[in-house]
Structure 1
Amino acid sequence: MTSTYPNSYYAATAKGVPALTRLEEDITCDVCIIGAGYTGLSAALHLAEKGYKPIVLEAERIGWGASGRNGGQLGTTLRKDQSELEARYGTDMAQRLWALAQDSVATVKSIIERYKIDCDLTPSILHAAWKRKDAGDLEEEAAHMREAYGYEKLRYVPREEMREMVASTRYWGGALDEGAAHLHPLNFALGMAAAAKEKGARIFEDSRVLDISESDPARIRTAHGTVTASHVVIACNGYLGKLESRVNGYIMPINNFIIATEPLGAEGAKALIRDNVAVADTKFVIDYYRLSPDGRLLFGGGENYSPNFPKDIAAFVRKPMLRVFPQLKDVRIDYAWGGTLAITLSRMPQFGRLAPNRIFAHGYSGQGINVATLAGKLIAETVSGTAERFDLLAGMKTQKFPGGTLLRYPGLVAGMLFYAMKDRLP
C-alpha cells in the first residue's frame, strides 16, 4: 500500500484499520462504487444489506479524504436551516427535506449501534452566535422548529448561559441541538467499511479509477485491473477532479484545517466546554470545535481555496482559536492537518444520474457525516428500484460555478474574502 493517512489526531487514534489490497484483476459485479468515503461506504453497506455484492474502488485509503479528517460534527439538517428552505422551496418541500434530514441522523446513529462502531459518539452541538443579530436569528429558528416541526431538541441559549457553557466572551447567545452529536470521523468510516465487508462488499484501496466507459454495463478501469458493472456510483466529492467533467463544474473543492492541542486534563477540558458538546459558530468562515476523549481541544478554523495547504497549518489555525480562547496562548499544538471538501453554490447537496446506470452524489458543503451517509442509503434504494427519495433531492436544481472549472476559483476567492470581511464587522 503506497498511501498513508495524513498525520492527524484521528489517524493517531484510528481503530481497526484494515489491510486491504489494490485491484489487480478483472471483475464483474452488479454495482461498482468509486470512492471509500461516507457516501461510498454507506452505499456499499446498504447495498450489501439488500443482498448485493458491491465493489468499492478507492484511490487512497478508506476515509482518506474529508470523511477521515473533518470536524466530527453530526448535524441535524441537510446544511441550510428550515426557514431558509421554506423561503426557497416552499413549506411542503421543506417538510419533506426535514424528514430526510431526520432520517440522515438516525441512519448514522443506527449504523453505529447495530455494528457496534467504536467512534466516541457524544450528544449535542451548540451553535454559537458570533454577532448580536445572529443570536436573535437562532432564537427565532429554535422557536420555529418547535412550533412548525415539533422539534423539541433545539433550544435557545442566552448570552449569560453561553458563557457558562463555553469559556469565551465572544458569543452573544446560542442554540443547543440535543438531537445532534459529535464523533471520531475516521473511526466511523473504518467501522462502516468493516460492516460493509462483513455483509459481502469488497473494497480495494490504492485503486484510482482512470476512466469509465459510456457502455451498459460500464467498464471501470484502474492501472492494474477493471470492473464491469451494471451500475456505477460516483462518490468522490471534493476529490472528483477530472473523472466526470459533466458534474465537476457544479462543485468547488475548498480546504479546511484543524488542530489538536495537547491534553488539557479533565478539569482543564471541562473548564473550556462545560458539557462536552461540539460547538460551531455563525460566521461565514466558521470556527468549529470540540473535546477529544483524552481532553484535547480539536479546533477547526480558517480555509483556503487553492490546491495547496498553508505551510504552517498549526499557526494558521491557532489565530482563530486564540480569538475564541485567548487563555490557550501557551498551550502546545500536537497535531495540525487539513482536508478538502466540496461546496455547491446553493450549499445544498447535488444528487443525480448521468445515465440510467450511472449515479452520483456530492457537494455536502460541510455537512457530510449525516448527508453523505444518507446519500449512500438513498443510492442503495435507487439501485434496488425505489428511487422516490433520491429523486426528491435530484430534482432540486443546482447551478454551475461561474467560469467553469478554470475560472471558478477567482470568483470564489473574491466572494469568500468579502464574507470573511463581514465576519469581522460588529
Structure 2
Amino acid sequence: MDLKSGYPFWAIKNGLMHAFAPLQQDLRCEVVVVGGGVTAALIADELVQHGHEVAVIEQRDIGWGSTAASTALLQYEIDTPLRELAKRHGLEAAVLAYRACEQAIEALRVLAAQVDDVDFRTARSLYYASRRRHLGPLLEEFDLRSRHGFAVDWLDAAGVAEEFGFSAPGAILSTPAASMDPYRMSYRLLIRLLARGARVHDHCRIDAVETSTRRVQLRTADGLRIECKQLVVATGYAAQQWLRQRVARNRSSYAFVTDPMPTDALAQLRDTLLWETARPYLYLRTTADQRLLAGGEDDAIDLPLRRDAQVDRKAQRLAAKVGKLFPQLAMTPTFAWAGTFAETEDGLPFFGPHPQWGPRVHFAMAYGGNGITYSMLGAGLIRAAIERRQHRLAELFSFQRLA
C-alpha cells in the first residue's frame, strides 16, 4: 500500500539510518510484530523491556510508511472534542481517554530521554477558534476540561493577538504537548532493540497467516516460515487490508516544511503547537532546526496517483493560510508531501484482537490525529493482552465498540 507522496522531510533529513539484516531462514519466537514504523517500534520496545522475545518484520525500509509522512504533533487532545466524546461514550470514558493521552505524552518524554537524539521537545498546544461562531462550543470545551482538572487557560481575542501575534476570536492554551522526529525515534528504538537481543528484519513481506489455538504461522514472499505464540499487526493504515470489516476511512493529509528561519521570526511558535476548530484543520509546529512545519488540507482521496498530483497545489494553499495568520513570515515550502491517515467514527483507536482472527492476533490501529500518542498507549495495552492482564483502556479501545 502506497502511504505517502512527495518528499517527506524526516526521511530526507535522516536518510537510511541503519541497514537491518534480511531474514534468511525460518524463525520461531514468542511475539512477532509486523510493521516497521513508530507504532511497531513502540510496541516492540515495550514488550522487550518486559522480558518478551520479539521479532519485528517490515516489508519496506524501516519508517518508510506513514511514519515518514507524520508531522508528529504530540497532544492529549483528541480530534473528537471531549464534550462530543462524552456524548458518544459517557463522560467517565471520555475523560479517561483524554487523561490517558495526557499521561502518554509524559511516557514519551521519558522514553525519548532514554533513547536520546530524537528531537523531542515539550510544548504547549493552542486550539483556536477559526470563526466567531466556533467560540461558544470552544468555551464549552474549555469549561469541561477545566472542571476535570486539565491544565488549560482561556485566551480571548486580545490575548491571542498579544501572545501569538495573529487574529482569532479565542483559544484554549493547554499543556502538556510535545513534538519529535518520529522517523528517527523508530530507527533508534529498533537499533536499541537489536542490542537487547530482539530480531529486526526489513524487506520481508508476509504473504500468508494461519492461526490455531496454540500458535500463529506466517509465510513470507520468499517461502520462509515464521512461527510465534502471539502476532501483533502494527502496519499502520495498511492494517485495514487484514480485516473484512471496515473499521475506518482512509483519507489524505498534506504538509510542507520551510528552510530554517531566523530564531526571532518563529518566537511565537517556538514552544507552541497551533491547530484550529475548522475541519479539516490547519496545524503548525516548528522543528528543532528552526523550520516551520504546516499541515492540513485533508481530503477523501485514497488513490496514490491522484494524491501525488495534489501535493504542490495543497502546499501552496497551506502556505497561503499560514501567510494570512503570520504575514511577516516568508512562506516558501521547501519540502512538501502527503500521507494517508485513517479516521474512525469516534476518533479513538483500535487495539487488541479482532473476532476474525482470534485471540492470538492483536491489531494496533493508532488511527486519528493522535497516532503517536495512541501508539504509546497501545504498547501497554498490547502487552497487557499478551500477558492476559486487565487494562483500563481495553474495552474503550477495542473492536467491541463497533458492535
Q: TM-score, normalised by structure 2?
A: 0.88
Structure 2 distance, partners of 1:67, 1:301, is 16
Shift in CA distance, 69/189, structure 1 to aligned 2, threshold 3 Å: same
Q: Please, which of 292, 295, 300 is the counterpart of residue 300 of structure 1? A: 295
Structure 2 distance, partners of 1:118, 1:342, is 25
The residue that corresponds to 1:157 in the other structure is 155
The answer to whether residue 392 in structure 2 is matched with residue 389 in structure 1 is: yes
1:238-294 CA-partner distances (Å, limit 9, x unpaired)? 12253x1334x1122221111112222222222xx3543111111111111112223
Q: How many Å apart are 1:234 and its aligned residue? A: 0.9
Shift in CA distance, 197/126, structure 1 to aligned 2, threshold 3 Å: farther
Describe how 1:72-221 pairs up with structure 2 within 5 A. Answer: 72-147=72-147, 149-151=148-150, 153-169=151-167, 171-215=168-212, 216-221=214-219
Q: How many Å apart are 1:79 and its aligned residue? A: 4.1
Amino acid at match of 1:226: R
1:61-96 CA-partner distances (Å, limit 9, x unpaired)? 222222232122101145433322322222332343
Task: Tell me the SS of whatever aligns to 1:71.
Answer: coil
Structure 2 distance, partners of 1:92, 1:343, is 23
Describe how 1:218-229 pairs up with structure 2 within 5 A. Answer: 218-224=216-222, 225-229=224-228
Shift in CA distance, 102/268, structure 1 to aligned 2, threshold 3 Å: closer
Q: How many Å apart are 1:134 and its aligned residue? A: 2.3
Structure 2 distance, partners of 1:399, 1:385, is 22
Structure 1 distance, partners of 2:336, 2:271, is 21
Q: How many Å apart are 1:329 and its aligned residue? A: 8.7
Q: How many Å apart are 1:155 and its aligned residue? A: 1.3
Structure 2 distance, partners of 1:6, 1:17, is 20
1:318-360 CA-partner distances (Å, limit 9, x unpaired)? 2133123143796432101111122112221123313121111
The residue that corresponds to 1:64 in the other structure is 64
Whether the 8 Å CA contact 2:37–2:183 is kept in 1: the answer is no
Q: Structure 1: which 5+ residue stretches go unaligned?
A: 401-426
Structure 2 distance, partners of 1:144, 1:194, is 42
Whether the 8 Å CA contact 1:232–1:358 is kept in 2: the answer is yes
The residue that corresponds to 1:373 in the other structure is 376
Q: Structure 2: which 5+ residue stretches go unaligned?
A: none
Structure 2 distance, partners of 1:213, 1:312, is 40
Task: Tell me the SS of whatever aligns to 2:372.
Answer: helix
Amino acid at match of 1:132: R
Q: How many Å apart are 1:218 and its aligned residue? A: 1.1
Structure 2 distance, partners of 1:162, 1:67, is 32
Structure 2 distance, partners of 1:300, 1:235, is 24
Q: TM-score, normalised by structure 1?
A: 0.84
Task: Tell me the SS of whatever aligns to 1:31.
Answer: strand
Amino acid at match of 2:303: P
Structure 2 distance, partners of 1:183, 1:240, is 24
1:207-242 CA-partner distances (Å, limit 9, x unpaired)? 122121123411112222331010011112212253
Whether the 8 Å CA contact 1:5–1:64 is kept in 2: the answer is no
Task: Tell me the SS of whatever aligns to 1:336.
Answer: strand
Whether the 8 Å CA contact 2:352–2:381 is kept in 1: the answer is no
The residue that corresponds to 1:411 in the other structure is none
Shift in CA distance, 197/399, structure 1 to aligned 2, threshold 3 Å: same
My pick for the range that moved more, 16-25 or 56-65, is: 16-25
Structure 2 distance, partners of 1:134, 1:119, is 34
Amino acid at match of 1:144: L
Structure 2 distance, partners of 1:54, 1:236, is 16
Amino acid at match of 1:253: N
Whether the 8 Å CA contact 1:129–1:173 is kept in 2: the answer is yes
The residue that corresponds to 2:43 in the other structure is 43
The answer to whether residue 357 in structure 2 is matched with residue 362 in structure 1 is: no
The residue that corresponds to 1:422 in the other structure is none
Amino acid at match of 1:100: A
Whether the 8 Å CA contact 1:256–1:340 is kept in 2: the answer is yes
The residue that corresponds to 2:350 in the other structure is 350
Amino acid at match of 2:192: A
Structure 2 distance, partners of 1:228, 1:336, is 41
Q: CA RMSD in A?
A: 2.5
Structure 1 distance, partners of 2:385, 2:278, is 36
Whether the 8 Å CA contact 2:38–2:182 is kept in 1: the answer is no
Structure 2 distance, partners of 1:392, 1:398, is 8
Whether the 8 Å CA contact 2:153–2:174 is kept in 1: the answer is yes
1:110-137 CA-partner distances (Å, limit 9, x unpaired)? 2112332432323112112111132333
Task: Tell me the SS of whatever aligns to 1:157.
Answer: strand
Whether the 8 Å CA contact 1:37–1:64 is kept in 2: the answer is yes
Describe how 1:305-320 pairs up with structure 2 within 5 A. Answer: 305-308=301-304, 309-311=307-309, 313-320=311-318
- The percent identity for this pair of structures is 21
Amino acid at match of 1:306: D
Structure 1 distance, partners of 2:333, 2:5, is 19
Task: Tell me the SS of whatever aligns to 1:258.
Answer: strand
The residue that corresponds to 2:239 in the other structure is 240
Q: Please, which of 291, 295, 314 is the counterpart of residue 286 of structure 2? A: 291
Whether the 8 Å CA contact 1:259–1:300 is kept in 2: the answer is yes
Structure 1 distance, partners of 2:102, 2:264, is 34
Shift in CA distance, 133/329, structure 1 to aligned 2, threshold 3 Å: same
Structure 2 distance, partners of 1:163, 1:198, is 50
The residue that corresponds to 2:21 in the other structure is 21
Aligned residues: 390
My pick for the range that moved more, 304-313 or 389-398, is: 389-398
Structure 1 distance, partners of 2:88, 2:19, is 46
Whether the 8 Å CA contact 1:347–1:363 is kept in 2: the answer is no
Whether the 8 Å CA contact 2:366–2:378 is kept in 1: the answer is no
Whether the 8 Å CA contact 2:31–2:232 is kept in 1: the answer is yes
Structure 2 distance, partners of 1:6, 1:389, is 40
